[in-house]
Amino acid sequence: MRVVGVYINNYKSIGEMKNYLKLDPKVTALIGKNESGKSNVLEAIGQLSFEKNLRSSYFDNKNRMSLEDVSIHVDFEFTEKELEKYEIEQEKTKIIFSGPSETIVEGGLIDLIKGDEQLQKALQELGNLKSSKNIWKSDNSVKTVNELENLCTNQISNYETKLNNLKKGISRDYEGKDGLIQTIGVIRDRIEGFYNLLPQIYYRSKDVQLQSSYKYDDIKNILEDETHILSRFFIAAGIKKEDIIRGFESKSSGEKRTAKNKIEGATKKNIETEFKEFYNQENIEIQVELEGQLFKIYVKTGDVAMDLTERSNGLQWYLTIFIDIFSNYYNDRPILFLLDEPGVHLHVNAQKELLNFFSHLADKQNQVVYTTHSPYMIDGSNILNVRATEKGIDGNTLIYKNAYDQELSKDTKMETLSPVINALGADLKFNFGPSQNLNIVTEGITDYMYIKAMLEYLKVDRKINVIPSAGVGNVNRIASILIGWGCDFKIVLDYDKAGHDEYIVLVDKLDSSLKENIVFVNCEEDDIEEMKKDPKTIESLVAEVKEGTIENTSKRLAANGFYERIKSNIDPMPETVDNFMRLFSRLRI
């Protein structure tokens, strides 16, 4: 299952208005000014576990300006693979956390549980025995049975521990003990199967740094702490605890050398090989050595080997987060990764590699949410996965579904949009050399959405960069930059007075040769009188808007609805396809 969105109610700076974070199915970027509450959003979600109740301390983080208590609810949907496996229709699941022991599950997952014949039969068998005094050693066992009977409405926290205790709570003299243990085992396996559909949460709230050297006396304690970054290194590499102990303590030199070989080989095979796939700034090798009573990590480039801490902060950080994340692949469950300001120490190209890493994680059925101020941490080819936060006039954090929401304040919009706007420029400057790719400049974000959607639908092979100008009056500014960089570009304007006025600015005041670069949405020539009589906008090309098959309460909502339909593999109407193919033909795509 994937997370669709999260309502965060009255947690720290977050109130009850604009408190819904909508997640992209793959990667979501969260931007905003400092102190706007981005970290609080991640923290609120990062402490959740979908198979356990929240700690009581979580609910102590109450918004001081609110009279209401903290609560949080998470919306999920099934993946296509799950829909096919269970032969079900899509129905959202909701998990509501409203107190330390108050967790409710509703929707599609509950319907799956109710429809599981094996589980329901086992629960019924167990329920029939709860009142028999000669079966259970204590009333606690009967209480657990009662909880299990509520499985279809309430979350059963720590179910594995409770079911194990239930087995231990069976009276020794009960004749049907073996059969009852088997029934409890069926319940455990079925519950685990359903909970494994829900994602685990990986929350990186602070930077930890992998060191280049560790003393064995310290390693003995570290081995007992799976959260320690060195333990994560061992897990990621597949290094066994007993090999580490033998490598340091064995009296046999041959046994000690064998253990060292295993450790070095596992590091090369399971960490170095994977790391090279994502960090291609340089060709490096990850080497480990057991030197005396020290475990040492080296990074080798060419013929030069250096201690890890002698390398740049960026490389150290990148390797650390790679190991920390890579070591969390377990149980074949999806993971929701929450990362606060990743890549802050990395140079431009390494930040871009980090975006590739996020995409790789998402391709494995995971989701990634991260905060950033950096334009190089925004995917300029898909700015629709960006969400924005700002502080309202009452001091509460407001969460916006996109970075171009008209309700964002002017000051916030300037700062919040900066990484997005800069990302588009950075993409052009660093990724798109002159004449290598085509750049399409549009009047605004709605044009961007429609054109991006249809480029994806028509599976255009050529890499196209679409640049929204945030208003028709800014088109000439974008065009002047592209001219200066020597980039190949086309301009799409609405066939109306505003489009005509910008056409005059472009052709008469900027560069007369731009006439060949400009295409009106209806593919007609410039005719001001015709524009006044029968204006056309990008929406004129979309039959779904005219026929009301997508929400049309605003231009932006309609464009977003259309984009989401295409992403959900819903075919556009034939008229829409014909219109955009005509437009793309004029754009020489």
Query: Which residues have a Cβ under 8 Å from the Cβ of 306 and sit 6 or more positions away?
Result: 298, 299, 300
* Residue 520 C-beta-side C-alpha neighbours within 13 Å: 24
CA distances from 528 to 421, 490, 498, 531, 583 (A): 31, 21, 10, 5, 20
Whether the CB-CB separation of 209 and 218 falls below 8 Å is answered with: no
CA distance 225 to 432: 46
pLDDT for 434 beyond 70: no
Give the model confidence (pLDDT) of 441-473 as tens digits.
Answer: 999 888 988 999 999 899 887 778 888 887 888
pLDDT for 426 beyond 60: no
Query: What average pLDDT does range 214-234 have in this prediction?
Result: 93
Helix (H, G, I), strand (E, B) or coil at 105: strand
Structural tokens at position 11: 């947690």
User: Position of tokens 């005719």?
Assistant: 527
b/e per residue 77-86 (b: at least 16 CB within 10 A): bbbeebeeee
User: Partners of 22 in the beta sheet?
Assistant: 5
Structural tokens at position 172: 């020794």
Helix (H, G, I), strand (E, B) or coil at 199: coil
pLDDT for 416 beyond 70: no
Helix (H, G, I), strand (E, B) or coil at 405: coil
One-letter amino acid of 483: I
User: Please, which contacts does 577-582 make with residues 24 or more away whose CB atoms are closer than 8 Å?
Assistant: 577/454, 577/457, 577/458, 579/541, 579/542, 579/543, 580/450, 580/451, 580/454, 580/458, 580/541, 581/458, 582/523
Query: Which residues have a Cβ under 8 Å from the Cβ of 511 and sit 6 or more positions away?
Result: 479, 483
CA distance 358 to 322: 10
Q: Report the chain's mean pLDDT, rounded to a whole number.
A: 86
One-letter amino acid of 155: Q
Q: Are strands 464-468 and 438-442 parallel, antiparallel or unpaired?
A: parallel
Q: Are strands 294-301 and 304-307 parallel, antiparallel or unpaired?
A: antiparallel
Whether the CB-CB separation of 338 and 369 falls below 8 Å is answered with: yes
Give the model confidence (pLDDT) of 567-576 as tens digits.
Answer: 888 899 999 9
b/e per residue 506-541 (b: at least 16 CB within 10 A): bbeebeeebeebbbbbbeeebeeeebeeebbbbbbb
> Binning pLDDT at 50, 70 and 90, where does residue 428 land?
very low
Structure-model confidence comparison of residues 295 and 348, the more confident one: 295
Structural tokens at position 578: 């014909």
Give the model confidence (pLDDT) of 324-359 as tens digits.
Answer: 888 876 557 889 999 998 877 777 777 877 888 888
Helix (H, G, I), strand (E, B) or coil at 27: strand
> What is the C-alpha radius of gyration for the chain, rounded to an integer number of angstroms?
29
Give the model confidence (pLDDT) of 108-128 as tens digits.
Answer: 998 998 889 999 899 888 888
Whether the CB-CB separation of 142 and 130 falls below 8 Å is answered with: yes
Report the 10 Å Cβ neighbour count for 282. Answer: 10
Give the model confidence (pLDDT) of 88-98 as tens digits.
Answer: 999 999 999 99
> Binning pLDDT at 50, 70 and 90, where does residue 276 land?
confident
